[in-house]
Amino acid sequence: MSRDSVVDAAERLVHSRPFGEVTIRSLAAQLDVAPMSLYRHVRDKDDLLGEVVDRMLAAEWEPAADPADLGRWLTEAAERLRHLLVDQPAALHVYLSGPVVSPAALRRMDAMLDVLGRAGLDRTAARRAYAALHTYTVGFAALEASRSGWRPSPSDGGTAAELAAFTSPEQFAVGLRYLLDGIASASPAAGHLPTGPDPGGRSTPGGRAAESAPSRERRRGVSRPG
C-alpha cells in the first residue's frame, strides 16, 4: 500500500458513495486494512480529500475556450469551478475548509492571473479581480449546493420561489457578467473583456448564450450524480 493507492481508493469512494459515508473507516474497509494503517500514508481525512479534490480539479478546471477570447475564457473557468463544487460535495468541503493551495489550484490561479494581465490589469489589480471572481464562484456554489434539495411549500408564497432563483445557473451567469463588466471598466484594455446583454435568455461575457448546467451536461454527454 502506498499514498497513491490510498488516494486512488479514496477517489473511487468519493465517486461511489454519499459524502457523509466517506470516512477513514469506510476507506479502510474498502482496502481491507485496519483504519490506523492508513495514517502511515495520509495525515488525516482532510489531507486525503485535499489530494482527491486536486485530482478532480486538475481534470476539470481548464477552459476549452481560446485564452485570447478573454471574456469567454474567464467565464468558462468560473463555470467549471462552480460546476465541480456543486456536483462534488468533497470539493465544496475542501474549498470551504480553508485556502486551497494544491498544485491544480495554483495552476488555475496563475492561468487566470495571466489572462487578467492580458486584459491590461497590473499585478495588484489582477489579483484583486481574481479574488472577486474566485470568492463569488465559491460562495455562489456553496449557496446553490445547500439549497439544491429545497422545494417550495404552499405557505412559502411567491417570494420564496423568487429567492430560490437567485441560486440558479442563469443567475450565476448574470452575476459573473456584472463582475466582468467591472473588471473591464478598470482595465485600459476594456475591449478585451466583451460583454453582451443581460443573460435572461440572451448572452453572457464574451457573447455566449446563457446555458443551464443540465443543458450543458446533456451537450457534453455528462450525467449529474443523483
What is the pLDDT of the chain when averaged over all its residues?
Answer: 83
DSSP type of residue 225: P
Asked whether residue 158 carries a pLDDT value surpassing 80, the answer given is no
The candidate with the shortest Cα–Cα distance to 12, out of 59, 61, 55, 41, is 55
- What pLDDT shows up at residue 162? 77
The pLDDT of residue 13 is above 50: yes
CA angle 137–168–192, rounded 5-degree value: 50
pTM, 2 dp: 0.79
User: Which has more confidence, 165 or 59?
Assistant: 59
In the beta sheet, which residues pair with residue 36?
Answer: none
> In terms of residues, how long is the chain?
226
Asked if pLDDT for residue 88 goes beyond 90, the answer is yes
User: What domains, with CATH codes, occur in the chain?
Assistant: 1-42 (1.10.10.60), 61-220 (1.10.357.10)
* pLDDT value of position 189: 56
Give 135's contacts (C-beta < 8 A, 6+ positions apart).
Answer: none
For 155, list phi and psi in degrees, rounded to 5.
-80, -15
pLDDT: which is higher, 197 or 88: 88
Q: Residue 109: its pLDDT value, please?
A: 97
**d(Cα 9, Cα 131) in Å, to the nearest integer?**
33
Q: Is the pLDDT of residue 135 over 60?
A: yes
